[in-house]
């Protein structure tokens, strides 16, 4: 009968011997890959050699143990930290990473972070998600994060099934898209120009670029003269964005936009080309819109200046995203949905349609046919 294999990550009988007068202890062990190997150690005596061997075997097998894996008694907070480590390994886009981490820090850890994984039942997790329904966007993000977190716990064998999959989905809030009229955009840009006279904000020109391209704020502040702008062709390449490092909190240029579809080249209208040409003549730094110190300009500061410039006006609450909506709707009505999707760098028409297009009122005109129902038969 064949000898049964050693149990995974254990060793068999330890044998002692002496070779050339040197006490030796040796044994076979089975590592985490399932391979059977031999290890030996020497010592002052055979007993000392065995002690040295046992110490070496324990150290070797510890390298392949599951000590770093989650267990049923691990906490939800520990799971969250391990999941964030995975996001770093996958090089998750900084903006997405920050959104998910904020959800964990502000909602998930305070809410259920102390639960052990074997205590995170479907009813408990469902009740926690429902407690956030007053703000659907927060609840949806938290559910999305937990769905992926607990998938990791399943992969590591800590739990048998993902409790979040059985919780109530958070319904999407259907917002009616309202687009600001072009005459109001011009009025806003007049307010920006007035604000620029007393601030180093450059809102007038930044807003022109956003209006000309539909770029996100971070995308609009990321272009560099040599790599991203071809004035002779009237071309702007959107191939990066500005983001905040999740670990250091420092601003950096991310060498790709929010998504793969966001990587795009855009032909600029003549007005924008003229503005950029004038800026190029007076440029001293590699970036198109540098800060006053020659670094990349923080998007958060630009949005703050934007709000301050509109304070006290009818346009309080309007953001750069309203400019994106305006250009998307204009292109859709003029050239079709494909043009709007391509300009904004969306992965699907559904995103463009749902969040950026103002739909014309649908009017069913069957009045004349219905009128015949009121006519007398004689």
From first to last of its 378 residues, the chain has per-residue pLDDT tens of: 567 788 888 899 999 999 888 999 999 998 877 888 899 999 999 999 999 999 998 888 776 655 578 889 999 999 999 999 999 998 888 888 999 999 999 999 999 999 999 999 999 999 999 999 999 999 999 999 999 999 999 999 899 999 999 999 998 776 778 899 999 999 999 999 999 999 999 999 999 999 999 999 999 999 999 999 999 999 999 999 999 888 888 999 998 887 787 889 999 999 999 999 999 999 999 999 999 899 999 999 999 999 999 999 999 999 999 999 999 999 999 999 999 999 999 989 888 888 888 876 677 888 888 878 888 665
- Is residue 50 domain-shared with residue 80, that is, in the same domain? no
Q: 205 and 330 share a domain?
A: yes
Residues 249 and 309 in one domain: yes
Sign of CA dihedral 302, 306, 309, 312: negative
Same domain flag for 137 and 195: no
Q: Is 131 helix (H, G, I), strand (E, B) or coil?
A: coil
Asked whether residue 159 is domain-assigned, the answer is: yes
State which residues form the domain around 45. 10-62
Q: How far apart are CA 284 and CA 290, in angstroms?
A: 9
Q: Do 305 and 192 fall into the same domain?
A: yes
CATH number at residue 260: 1.10.443.10
What are residue 219's phi and psi, to 5 degrees? -70, -40
The number of domains in the chain is: 3
Helix then strand then coil, % of the chain, to nearest 5: 50, 10, 40
- The CATH number linked to 121 is 1.10.150.130
- 290 assigned to some structural domain: yes
Rounded to an integer, what distance in angstroms lies between the CA atom of residue 83 and that of residue 65?
A: 20
Residue 2 lies in a domain: no
| pLDDT score for 67 | 56
Instruction: Tell me if 336 is assigned to some domain.
Output: yes
Residues 138 and 264 in one domain: no
Q: Which of 217, 271, 268 is CA-nearest to residue 242?
A: 217
pLDDT of residue 60: 82
373 assigned to some structural domain:
no
Does residue 32 sit in the same domain as residue 158?
no
pLDDT tens for each residue of 223-234: 999 999 999 999
pLDDT in tens, 113-146: 999 999 999 999 999 999 999 999 999 999 999 9
- The counts of H helices and E strands in the chain are 16, 9
In a domain, 1, yes or no: no
362 within domain boundaries: no
Are residues 90 and 195 located together in one domain of the fold? no
Do the strands 241-244 and 229-230 form a parallel or antiparallel pair, or are they unpaired?
A: unpaired
Instruction: Give the separation between CA 195 and CA 301, rounded to whole angstroms.
Output: 14
Asked whether residue 371 is domain-assigned, the answer is no
Considering the entire predicted model, what is its pTM? 0.69
Of 126, 141, 166, the domain-final residue: 166
- The verdict on 194 and 274 lying in the same domain is yes
SS3 211: helix
Q: Are residues 241 and 309 in the same domain?
A: yes
| DSSP strands (E only) in the chain | 10-11, 15-19, 22-30, 36-42, 229-230, 235-238, 241-244, 251-254, 264-267
Q: Are residues 269 and 219 in the same domain?
A: yes
* Domain termination residue (choose one: 115, 131, 166): 166
pLDDT on residue 66:
56
Q: Which of 141, 166, 191 is the last residue of a domain?
A: 166
Residues 118, 43, single domain; the answer is no
Taken in order 70, 72, 73, 76, is the CA torsion positive or negative? positive
């Amino acid at each position: 009968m064949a000898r049964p294999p050693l149990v995974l990550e254990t060793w068999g009988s330890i044998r002692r011997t002496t070779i050339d007068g040197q006490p030796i202890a040796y044994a076979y062990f089975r590592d985490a890959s399932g391979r059977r190997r031999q290890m030996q150690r020497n010592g002052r005596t055979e007993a000392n050699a065995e002690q040295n061997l046992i110490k070496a075997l324990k150290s070797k097998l510890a390298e392949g143990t599951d000590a770093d894996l989650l267990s049923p008694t691990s906490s939800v907070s520990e799971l969250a930290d391990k999941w964030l480590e995975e996001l770093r390994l996958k090089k998750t886009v900084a903006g997405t990473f920050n959104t998910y981490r904020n959800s964990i820090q502000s909602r998930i850890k305070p809410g259920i972070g102390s639960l052990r994984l074997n205590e995170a039942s479907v009813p408990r997790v469902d009740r926690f998600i429902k407690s956030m329904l007053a703000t659907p966007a927060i609840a949806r993000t938290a559910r999305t994060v937990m769905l992926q977190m607990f998938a990791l716990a399943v992969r590591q064998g800590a739990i048998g099934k993902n409790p979040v999959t059985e919780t109530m989905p958070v319904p999407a809030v259907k917002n009616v898209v309202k687009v600001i009229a072009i005459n109001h955009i011009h009025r806003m840009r007049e307010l920006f120009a007035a604000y620029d006279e007393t601030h180093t904000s450059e809102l007038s020109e930044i807003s022109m670029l956003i209006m000309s391209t539909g770029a996100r704020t971070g995308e609009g502040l990321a272009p560099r003269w040599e790599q991203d702008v071809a004035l002779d062709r009237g071309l702007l390449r959107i191939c990066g964005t500005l983001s905040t490092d999740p670990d250091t909190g420092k601003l950096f240029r991310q060498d790709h936009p929010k998504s793969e579809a966001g990587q795009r080249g855009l032909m600029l209208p003549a007005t924008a080309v003229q503005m950029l040409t004038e800026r190029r003549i007076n440029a001293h730094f590699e970036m198109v819109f540098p800060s006053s110190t020659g670094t990349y300009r923080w998007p958060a500061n630009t949005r703050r200046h934007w709000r301050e410039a509109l304070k006290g006006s009818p346009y309080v609450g309007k953001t750069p995203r309203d400019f994106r909506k305006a250009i998307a709707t204009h292109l859709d009505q003029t050239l079709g949905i494909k043009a709007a999707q391509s300009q904004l760098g969306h992965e699907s028409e559904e995103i463009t349609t749902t969040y950026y297009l103002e739909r014309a009122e649908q009017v069913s005109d069957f009045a004349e046919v219905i009128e015949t129902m009121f006519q007398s038969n004689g």
